[in-house]
Amino acid sequence: MKEQSEKGGKVYLIGAGPGDPGLLTIKAKEILQACDVVVYDYLANPTFLEYVGEEAEAIYVGKKSSQHTLSQEEINKLLVDLGKQGKRVARLKGGDPYIFGRGGEEAQELGENGIPFEVVPGITSAIAAPAYAGIPLSHRDFTSTIGIVTGHERPDKEKSAIDWEGLARSMGTLVFLMGVKNLSNICRNLMDHGRSPETPAAMVRWGTTPRQQAVTGTLATMPEIVEKAGIKPPAILVVGEVVTLRDSLNWFERRPLFGKRIVVTRARAQASDMRRKLEDLGAEVVQFPTIRIQPPSSWSPVDEAVERLNDFDWVIFSSVNGVKFFFERLFQKGRDVRDLGGKSIAAIGPQTAKELESYGLRADLIPNDYKAEGLLDVFTDEETRRILFPRAKVAREVLPETLRKRGHHVEVVPVYETVMEKPDEDVMRSILSGDVDVITFTASSTVHNFVEIMGGKEKVQVLPGTIKMASIGPITSQTLRDYGLHVHMEAPVYTIDGLIQEIITNLSS
């Protein structure tokens, strides 16, 4: 090994796991957040790139079966070059880097060139995919031995290094990674060397993801079953009596939204909680942010209002964003929550109230109807109130206008604004081809921008009829109808949880 580089460069060989973003390790996430460059493979879930800092460079090396953007030798050289440049490099690989991931070869190359490196193990698909398919690799009623085997050896090998007789006779459970193309040979070799043709077998594709597909059969029937099912890589083969447990232990594919592709149109910064909840229910979430939340072009109206907080009796918050941006600016001006002492606070919706609680404030009023009109029953003509309303720059005027007509003094200050997000061409193609099940809308602004991004009213009216539109409430629903779109689902409770429950109910019926 050469003397290590003195420039501070370091390469982390990180196992990204089999696909479920929740299976990434805490250490791997921390390295991704701090790296200068991330070099990633086809099998690494692109969600992980969201952890990478905005200033970091992302390099896709595209290692897919028979399709390599860079050869392994070129990848090795790239890692060495980046290390010599003093970069902190996250080399993100599907599964575990040392289990048929060629991580050992990359580590050797780094070591020979004096580049410091660390290995961050990942959860291999050999273990995770069967578990998500309801197949425990060991079980005391069946076996206590497990063998993990590559499904394809190096093509330049003259003779197989696999001890087929030993595998066939001594291992209770066998897992073959990357074995789709050689499936017939694998099954034949096992049977020729003593394994019963009736041995249960399963093939699991895209294990641990909402695209997971699993088929079962026997060694004798598996090649035909896999061909009929159209299973392509990436997939693993499991052989052994434990496969019979799938019928009773298949938990992952029984979740209520399993396999459904659901488009989330809300701002990326606000989408994480909704995405997580949908994914926990089995859905494949397709992020298609139509809006981006940003500070207002001028803080002057807000700053002036903050200087006159004693002039107001009430402060009304109509959204989580309104709360966040208002308090961020309040703190920037050297103030704190004590400046709201003696004022009543109204929150439209439980999520807005929850956000207020994160600042140590409890809403005095939360209307039963989670929209602006819900407050109108409270603010009557009997007593004149002075009201501060921090909200989006562009929003519905029904609440402030009605309150003013009733004699109240309402001062609206824009604490944030929404702008249209850049379109994702790949997602647009998926929507136009009908390759999604549901498109969700959580505000009228997401509807307006969605229509504009997709090409206008006439374009969205001819979207495939298989796609269902899901709305968070009546105002958003009316906006959809104004564009000629059918509302298939409307949340009875105007919250993200209410919307998700309505999607479950609708898709289950």
Same domain, 302 and 403: yes
Same domain, 495 and 480: yes
Same domain, 267 and 193: no
> pTM for the whole thing?
0.80
Q: Which long-range contacts (CB under 8 A, 24 or more apart) does 448-454 make?
A: 448/479, 449/265, 449/290, 449/291, 449/418, 449/420, 449/421, 450/265, 450/288, 450/290, 451/483, 452/420, 453/290, 453/420, 453/421, 453/423, 453/428, 454/428
Amino acid letter, 134? G
Residue 227 and residue 338: Cα distance in Å, rounded?
68
Domain-located, residue 3? no
Same domain, 407 and 437: no
Residue 259 and residue 282: Cα distance in Å, rounded?
6
Q: Which of 20, 36, 63, 371 is catalytic?
A: 63
Our count of domains for the chain comes to: 4
Residues 348/318, Cβ–Cβ less than 8 Å: yes
Single residue among 104, 122, 140 that ends a domain in this structure:
122
User: What pLDDT is attached to residue 158?
Assistant: 63
Same domain, 391 and 449: no
Residue 164 and residue 499: Cα distance in Å, rounded?
53
Mean of pLDDT over the chain: 91
Give the pair of three-digit tokens for residue 470. Answer: 């899901």
Domain-located, residue 4? no
Q: Which of 20, 36, 41, 96 is catalytic?
A: 41
Amino acid letter, 494? Y
Residues 168/190, Cβ–Cβ less than 8 Å: yes
Residues 483/447, Cβ–Cβ less than 8 Å: yes
Same domain, 416 and 427: no
- Closest C-alpha to 236, from 173, 190, 179: 179
Q: Respond yes or no: is residue 181 known to be catalytic.
A: no
Same domain, 286 and 371: no
User: What pLDDT is attached to residue 44?
Assistant: 62
User: What pLDDT is attached to residue 272?
Assistant: 85
Q: Which residues pair with 410 in a beta bridge?
A: 387
Same domain, 425 and 407: no
User: What pLDDT is attached to residue 398?
Assistant: 84
Residues 176/186, Cβ–Cβ less than 8 Å: yes
Same domain, 376 and 303: yes
Domain-located, residue 75? yes
Residue 247: Cβ within 10 Å count? 9
Give the pair of three-digit tokens for residue 485. Answer: 């779109």
Same domain, 390 and 469: no
Domain-located, residue 394? yes
CATH number of the domain residue 136 falls in: 3.30.950.10
- Closest C-alpha to 133, from 226, 254, 294: 254
Same domain, 248 and 131: yes
Q: Respond yes or no: is residue 457 known to be catalytic.
A: no
Residue 136: Cβ within 10 Å count? 15
Residues of the chain with pLDDT under 70: 1-7, 43-44, 63-68, 153-158, 369-374, 378, 380-382
Single residue among 122, 145, 164 that ends a domain in this structure:
122
Residue 301 and residue 390: Cα distance in Å, rounded?
10
> What is the residue whose two structure tokens read 């791997």?
28
Give the pair of three-digit tokens for residue 229. Answer: 């099912």
Each residue's pLDDT tens digit, 123-175: 999 999 999 999 999 999 999 899 999 887 554 556 777 899 999 998 999 99
Torsion over CA: 183, 186, 189, 192 (sign): negative
Domain-located, residue 1? no
Query: What is the rounded end-to-end Cα distance, in angstroms, of the chain?
Result: 64
Same domain, 345 and 389: yes
Residue 125 and residue 78: Cα distance in Å, rounded?
26
CATH number of the domain residue 478 falls in: 3.40.50.10090
CA 197 to chain centre: 41
Domain-located, residue 95? yes
Residues 398/373, Cβ–Cβ less than 8 Å: yes
User: What pLDDT is attached to residue 152?
Assistant: 72
Query: Helix, strand, or coil here: 46?
Result: helix
Query: Helix, strand, or coil here: 56?
Result: coil
Residue 229 and residue 215: Cα distance in Å, rounded?
8
Write out the residue range of the structural domain in which residue 229 sits: 127-252
Nearest-5° Cα angle at 99, 176 to 234: 50
Residue 250 and residue 238: Cα distance in Å, rounded?
15
